[in-house]
């Protein structure tokens, strides 16, 4: 312990003397209430500390004691289903102890240290130790010691912890000498020992600002299936990828992240509410426990961790919350799980950086943000990736960050710098949101750089994936150019071929891109149905174009199918909610009927052309 004295206070930033021998990013306890803080800069004779709690009432001359340890989180069974704040304080426990408003300095263990978990030692390791106690089993980082059934959906794998970067490395000769037998243990109980007298407990600490190591980075060639057609087919994201969802107020950033969290094929969800309004975070905290996991039929919270750091909480804790979230994600990635992080929103996090930077009297850059904003964004997003873990498993972390540009201006610094470090950009459009088009992802401003990597996966479902995706995007671009003309002279002045483009694009937008999150059929769409729907719409456009070239008027194409009820074009738009996932026969029957109708019209006008 190194003891210093508070010399200056500027909001959450304080200066303390006597801590010049402490380390950068060491945790400091300030004042009588032992408020948690972190050393962010060391100057001659002084340490600059950002305090993660409300420091109202703190006075000059108060004690500032360095723990000589970096800010760390406790990793072990019991994380899943828990709601934390930005520095891993369990909010449910604090609410039970102090009510709705947390008193500064209040503490609680991140994990229940009294609950006993059913630990099963690794059978292969047990057999090796039992067969020949003299056999040396190296205590290599990532060595699997055993497992704990954490929830019905998640099994927590207990491993020899890796060594943080910069720490003393494990001695090569260190070996496992004892492994706990099967039984019930608390998070603090020792479950393994080494020949160097190191004891490995069930739960272990890890510094939040240091990435957990991996054995190898793998190619991001496996798509993260979300069930949202505009994402999966047009702007796909891979497992281990990075994406941003920028949009102005009310465009649906949080709703899109909710849908992805519920339906994506990740094993574990980490939702970080970083500086969001209290009412939005309340919705997350109340709705997520009620959501049904489509995989198991049980609560979605059985594979979810929530980090709530609302806009009225201390701003410094907002800055560290994303590091806390990604560290928890890396813990489950190392077990071989695919983890998805929802960060809502990185703009509020950047605003916290700006405020802290101003308090530290640093030179501001664009719009007052600190000059190191791009570096911090890169440090966060680079912790995503699909990897081979130290335990020789495949795991991934996919990061999806919401960005809230003021006034929906995508040219502001946070959005522009974020685009440098992500490969998937799902831009939300205010006009689409106002027209109740959900998800309001613009097909004009959005892009994905993962399309080439995931192409082999999609081509197993449909060999024509690349061609049909390109054709659909070209159709939407043509429709956008024609809309400018329509605004000037009206649609009736266009020839039938161009009016068909408008009709086909409208069917594509209503029948494919738009999804009804309240429709039990349409809220989630499997990949095979996605590609079949798009194929049917584009087939309608191609065959209709042929009819137009043969002289068929557009009104006849629009009226096709009316003798059997609704027009063909209307049925095509509503097919997404009328055909169940997996109902290949229903799609085939519709395709046959559509082909017959269009082929009949084509034959009629081809015959007229010959005459």
Instruction: Name the residue ranges covered by the structural domains of the chain.
Output: 2-70, 112-205, 216-450, 465-610
What integer pLDDT is reported at residue 540 of this predicted model?
95
* pLDDT higher than 60, residue 609: no
Q: Determine phi and psi for 9, rounding to 5 degrees.
A: -130, 125
* Tokens encoding 466: 């690349």
* Tokens encoding 3: 């003891």
What integer pLDDT is reported at residue 297 of this predicted model?
76
Name the strand (E) or helix (H) holding 245.
strand 242-246
| Inter-residue contact 234 to 218 (CB < 8 Å) | no
Instruction: Name the DSSP letter for residue 20.
Output: T
Q: Is-cis flag, bond preceding 439, omega within 30? A: yes
Phi-psi label, residue 466: left if phi above 0, alpha if psi -120 to 50, beta otherwise: alpha
What integer pLDDT is reported at residue 36 of this predicted model?
93
DSSP β-ladder status, 72-75 and 204-207: antiparallel
Q: Of 96-110, 149-163, 358-372, which gets the smallest average pLDDT?
A: 96-110
How far apart (Å, rounded) are the C-alpha atoms in residues 398 and 410? 23
Per-residue pLDDT of 157-204, as tens digits, reads: 999 999 887 665 556 778 899 999 999 999 999 999 998 889 999 999
* pLDDT higher than 90, residue 154: yes
Minimal CA–CA distance to 396: which of 450, 335, 324, 346?
Answer: 335
* pLDDT higher than 50, residue 280: yes
| DSSP state letters, 99-143 | -SSPPTT----SS-SS--EEEEE-HHHHHHHHH-TTS--B--TT-
Instruction: Name the DSSP letter for residue 442.
Output: -
How far apart (Å, rounded) are the C-alpha atoms in residues 374 and 551? 57
385's CB contacts (< 8 A; 6+ apart) are 214, 217, 218, 220, 240, 396, 397
* pLDDT higher than 60, residue 35: yes
Q: How many CB atoms lie within 10 A of CB 109?
A: 16
The fraction of the chain above a pLDDT of 70, given in percent, is 97
| Three-state secondary-structure class, residue 168 | coil
Burial of 1 (0-12, 13-18, 19+ CB in 10 A): exposed
Whole-Å CA distances, 371 to 11, 258, 402, 413, 417: 21, 32, 21, 11, 11
How far apart (Å, rounded) are the C-alpha atoms in residues 11 and 27? 18
CATH number given to 112-205: 2.40.50.100
Cα distance between the two ends of the chain? 99
Mean pLDDT of 320-329: 95
What integer pLDDT is reported at residue 577 of this predicted model?
92
| Inter-residue contact 431 to 250 (CB < 8 Å) | no
pLDDT band at 607 (very low <50, low <70, confident <90, very high): low
Tell me which of 249 and 228 has the higher pLDDT: 228
Minimal CA–CA distance to 422: which of 269, 237, 563?
Answer: 237
Tell me which of 104 and 208 has the higher pLDDT: 208
Whole-Å CA distances, 484 to 385, 477, 479, 480, 495: 41, 12, 9, 7, 15
pLDDT band at 611 (very low <50, low <70, confident <90, very high): very low
What integer pLDDT is reported at residue 20 of this predicted model?
83
- Alpha-helical regions (H) of 382-464: 413-421, 430-434, 451-461
| Inter-residue contact 35 to 29 (CB < 8 Å) | yes
Minimal CA–CA distance to 231: which of 263, 186, 276?
Answer: 263
Per-residue pLDDT of 458-468, as tens digits, reads: 999 999 999 99
Q: At what angle do helices 527-549 and 465-489 cross, to 10 degrees?
A: 50
* Domain 2-70: CATH class, spelled out: mainly beta
pLDDT band at 605 (very low <50, low <70, confident <90, very high): confident
* Domain 465-610: CATH class, spelled out: mainly alpha
What integer pLDDT is reported at residue 564 of this predicted model?
59
* pLDDT higher than 80, residue 562: no
* pLDDT higher than 80, residue 306: yes
Which CATH number is 216-450's, of 3.50.50.60, 3.30.360.10, 3.90.1150.10, 3.40.50.300? 3.40.50.300
Per-residue pLDDT of 588-600, as tens digits, reads: 999 999 999 999 9
Per-residue pLDDT of 472-518, as tens digits, reads: 999 999 999 998 888 888 888 889 999 999 999 999 999 999 999 88
425's CB contacts (< 8 A; 6+ apart) are 235, 243, 244, 246, 419, 445, 446, 447, 448
* Tokens encoding 265: 């094929």
| Residue indicated by tokens 């309004």 | 277
How far apart (Å, rounded) are the C-alpha atoms in residues 576 and 122? 47
Per-residue pLDDT of 533-556, as tens digits, reads: 999 999 999 999 999 998 889 999
Q: How many CB atoms lie within 10 A of CB 482?
A: 17
Mean pLDDT of the chain: 90
């Amino acid at each position: 312990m190194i003891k210093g004295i508070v010399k200056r206070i500027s909001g959450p930033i304080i200066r303390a003397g006597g801590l010049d021998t402490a380390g950068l990013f060491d945790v400091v306890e300030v004042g009588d209430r032992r408020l948690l803080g972190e050393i962010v800069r060391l100057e001659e004779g002084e340490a600059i500390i950002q305090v993660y709690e409300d420091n109202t009432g703190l006075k000059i001359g108060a004690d500032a004691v360095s723990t000589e340890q970096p800010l760390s989180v406790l990793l072990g069974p019991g994380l899943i289903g828990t709601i934390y704040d930005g520095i891993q304080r369990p909010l449910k426990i604090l609410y039970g102890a102090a009510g709705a408003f947390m008193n500064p300095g209040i503490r609680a263990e991140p994990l229940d240290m009294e609950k006993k978990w059913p630990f099963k030692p690794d059978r292969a390791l047990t057999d090796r130790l039992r067969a020949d106690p003299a056999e040396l089993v190296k205590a290599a980082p990532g060595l699997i010691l055993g497992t704990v059934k954490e929830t019905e959906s998640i099994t927590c794998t207990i491993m020899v912890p890796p060594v943080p970067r910069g720490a003393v490395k494990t001695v090569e000769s260190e070996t496992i000498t004892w492994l706990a037998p099967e039984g019930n243990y608390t998070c603090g109980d020792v479950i393994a020992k080494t020949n160097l007298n190191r004891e490995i407990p069930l739960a272990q600490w890890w510094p939040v600002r240091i990435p957990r190591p991996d054995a190898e980075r793998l190619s991001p060639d496996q798509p993260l299936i979300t069930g949202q057609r505009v994402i999966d087919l047009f702007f796909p994201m891979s497992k281990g990828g990075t994406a941003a969802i920028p949009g102005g107020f009310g465009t649906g950033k949080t709703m899109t992240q909710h849908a992805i969290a519920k339906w994506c094929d990740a094993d574990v969800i980490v939702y970080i509410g970083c500086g969001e309004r209290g009412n939005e975070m309340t919705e997350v905290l109340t709705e997520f426990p009620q959501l049904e996991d489509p995989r198991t039929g049980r609560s979605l919270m059985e594979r979810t961790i929530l980090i709530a750091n609302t806009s009225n909480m201390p701003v410094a804790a907002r800055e560290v919350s994303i590091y806390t979230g990604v560290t928890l994600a890396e813990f489950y990635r190392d077990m071989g799980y695919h983890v998805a992080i929802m960060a809502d929103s990185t703009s509020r996090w950047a605003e916290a950086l700006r405020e802290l930077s101003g308090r530290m009297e640093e030179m501001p850059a664009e719009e007052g943000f600190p000059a190191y904003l791009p570096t911090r964004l890169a440090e966060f997003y680079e912790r995503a990736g699909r990897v081979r873990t130290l335990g020789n498993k495949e795991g991934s972390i996919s990061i999806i960050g919401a960005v809230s540009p003021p006034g929906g201006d995508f040219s502001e610094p946070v959005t522009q710098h974020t685009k440098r470090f992500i490969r998937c950009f799902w831009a939300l459009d205010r006009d689409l949101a106002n027209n109740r088009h959900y998800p309001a992802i613009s097909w004009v401003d959005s892009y994905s750089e993962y399309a080439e990597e995931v192409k082999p996966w999609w081509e197993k479902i449909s060999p024509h994936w690349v061609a049909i995706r390109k054709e659909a995007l070209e159709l939407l671009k043509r429709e956008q150019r024609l809309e400018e003309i329509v605004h000037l002279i009206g649609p009736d002045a266009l020839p039938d071929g161009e009016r068909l483009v408008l009709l086909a694009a409208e069917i594509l937008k209503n029948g494919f891109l738009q999804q009804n999150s309240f429709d039990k059929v349409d809220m989630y769409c499997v990949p095979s149905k996605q590609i079949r729907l798009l194929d049917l719409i584009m087939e309608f456009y191609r065959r209709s174009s042929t009819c137009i070239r043969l002289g068929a008027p557009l009104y006849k194409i629009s009226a096709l199918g009316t003798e059997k009820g609704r027009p063909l074009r209307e049925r095509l738009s509503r097919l997404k909610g009328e055909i169940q996932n997996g109902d290949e026969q229903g799609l085939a029957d519709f395709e046959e009927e559509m082909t017959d109708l269009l082929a009949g019209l084509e034959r009629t006008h081809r015959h007229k052309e010959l005459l």
